[in-house]
Amino acid sequence: MSGDEKDAKPCSCPPGPRGPPGRDATAKIAPPSGAVFTRWGRAECPKTSVLVYEGTASGSSFDEPGGGGNYLCLPRQPAYRDPTEGTQPYRAYLYGAEYWAVDHAKQDTLHRRTMPCAVCMSVGRAAQFTMPARDYCPTGWTREYRGYLMSSHYKRSRTEFICVDGEAEGSERSSRLRKSSRLVPVEVRCSQEDRDGSFPCGPYKNGHELTCAVCTV
């Protein structure tokens, strides 16, 4: 080492620009996003989406006027917080949803069976809707699944219309006396004469069960 090197003083220059992070640097990765929908009648999601959770379809009893007007997909394992033991009179009640598909060739074997469900997310597709009266989606949309429209019996408590998978499955068969939320196929009521608030028959056939499709984009 020369004498000049020994006498050299440390550089007081400002630091240079920061380089890119190394491989071990902690980086925030954005979670996947997409449209969330319920697949009624099956406990798994279509191949076009990922499973959020699986559960059992539920709703208000067919013979009780109160409660919610929509169906819920209850998870297999609930998480309670400070529950009151025993049943209480000032509550809304939830019951398992069952198929009551009498005289419907495709769903007759499911009659009085409990309906499974799955909450799914279509990764990369942010919008979803249910297409009524068709089992296919508009151009540019992805069909998640297709099936049949179902709702409560027209003389029972009013609920919502949902799209139940065309290859639906069911669990144990119930008795006729058990309280449940009962779902039946939906058919069109139309007439050749425009009366009683109905719409004219034409492409729609009086008494034909309606199909449906769940679509995402």
With 60 as the cut, is the pLDDT of residue 6 above it? no
Residue 83 belongs to a domain:
no
> pTM for the full model?
0.81
Residue 19, Cβ density class (10 Å: 0-12 exposed, 13-18 middle, ≥19 buried): exposed
Query: Rounded to an integer, what distance in angstroms lies between the CA atom of residue 84 and that of residue 125?
Result: 41
Residue 10 belongs to a domain:
no
Least confident of 9-18, 29-38, 65-74, 83-92: 9-18
Q: What is the pLDDT of residue 2?
A: 52
Residue 27 belongs to a domain:
no
**Number of structural domains found in the chain:** 1
Residue 2 belongs to a domain:
no
The 10 Å CB-count burial string (b at 16+, else e) for 102-137 is eebeebeebbbbbbbbbbbbbeebeebebbeeebeb
Q: What is the pLDDT of residue 178?
A: 76
Residue 184, Cβ density class (10 Å: 0-12 exposed, 13-18 middle, ≥19 buried): buried
The pLDDT tens digits of the residues spanning 99-146 come to 998 777 777 788 889 999 999 999 999 999 999 999 999 999 999 999
Where in the sequence is the domain holding 52, given as residue range(s)?
A: 32-76+92-216
Q: Please, which residues bridge with residue 189 across strands?
A: none
Yes or no: say if 187 and 207 are a contact pair by the CB < 8 Å rule: yes
Residue 82 belongs to a domain:
no
Q: What is the pLDDT of residue 22?
A: 55
Query: Rounded to an integer, what distance in angstroms lies between the CA atom of residue 188 and that of residue 184?
Result: 13
Residue 26 belongs to a domain:
no
Query: Rounded to an integer, what distance in angstroms lies between the CA atom of residue 100 and that of residue 94?
Result: 17
Tokens 């009780």 correspond to what residue? 64
Query: Rounded to an integer, what distance in angstroms lies between the CA atom of residue 5 and that of residue 8?
Result: 5
